[in-house]
Amino acid sequence: MFKAIRNAFISGLIVLAPVVITVYVIRTLVGSIGAPTAQLFFFFIPDEIFDKTVLSALLNILATLVVLILITLIGWFSKYFFGRFIVQITEKMITSLPFVKTVYNTVKQIIDTFARQKKAVFQKVVLIEFPRKGIYAMGFLTGRGKGEVRIKTANDIINVFLPTTPNPTSGYLVMVPEDDVQEMEMTVAEGMKLIVSGGAVVPHYNSERETNEYVEVTIPEAINTNNISNAEATQKEVVD
């Protein structure tokens, strides 16, 4: 009885978890973006309106949509000459500040690295032995070792990102020899689900895709089976 109630409770959590997380993300987005900008965008609305919970929530949602639209327009506008000119002037103003310059350049370099890549950052799901031999960890192939790493190791190195569970945004960058990397057939999305779930969500694997080779062993006709039996009897006597 208790086991059935526990299973039902866990099933309910699994059903409600995506809904709760979605609501939480939207609420956080509206609270962090819409609430601070609502009074800025709707300055002409009396303060009594903001005191009402329902109307204030609607204004916060509208303010969030306005911010998202403005971000989209800025991205579209920056593709043209005048827009690029404005962006360059803004960057010069930001980089003129000592501490802000370091933070801005670092963040911009990271974003440009991911944005300019024509292919996905996570290329394949791989399996490596980590943190020691005999213990396996699943990660994502991000590229091949180049430059100083390639020269000093004098080996074909594979860059593997090992995400942590259940938060895959953090993890370890491991540089592994190519011979020690085993590629998996699951997709990146399936591998991410497996990692985030802590191994609870395992993708279906069709073992029939792997071909097993069988070697048929036959006894040549020239070998007499009686001689084999005699040899086995002699071996048994020696053991006794």
Question: How many CB atoms neighbour CB 138 within 10 A?
Answer: 19
The predicted-structure confidence for 3-54, as pLDDT tens digits, reads as follows: 788 888 888 877 787 788 888 888 787 778 777 787 777 777 777 766 677 7
Q: Nearest-CA neighbor of 194 among 180, 208, 210, 205?
A: 205
CATH number belonging to the domain at 124-198, selected among 3.30.70, 1.10.10, 2.40.50, 2.30.30: 2.30.30
For residue 180, the 8-state DSSP code is: G
pLDDT given at position 3: 79
The predicted-structure confidence for 44-93, as pLDDT tens digits, reads as follows: 777 776 667 777 778 878 888 888 888 888 777 767 766 677 777 877 88
Say whether pLDDT at 211 is over 50: no
H-type helices in 30-133, by residue range? 35-41, 47-50, 53-77, 81-95, 98-115
pLDDT given at position 50: 66
Q: How far apart are CA 90 and CA 78, in angstroms?
A: 12
pLDDT given at position 219: 39
Cis peptide before 131 (omega within 30 of 0): yes
Please tell me which residue, 162 or 168, carries the higher pLDDT value: 162
Under the banding of pLDDT at 50, 70 and 90, the label for residue 109 is confident
Highest mean pLDDT among 95-99, 139-143, 144-148, 152-156: 139-143
Between CA 157 and CA 168, with CA 163 as vertex, the angle to 5 degrees is 145
The predicted-structure confidence for 175-209, as pLDDT tens digits, reads as follows: 999 999 999 999 998 999 999 888 888 888 876 55
Q: How far apart are CA 144 and CA 158, in angstroms?
A: 5
SS3 assignment, position 176: strand
Residue whose entry in the numeric block shows the structure tokens 């070697």:
215
Domain-wise residue ranges, the chain: 2-115, 124-198
Residue whose entry in the numeric block shows the structure tokens 């979605």:
22
Does this model's pTM top 0.85?
no
Coarse DSSP helix, strand, coil percentages of the chain, rounded to the nearest 5 percent? 60, 15, 30
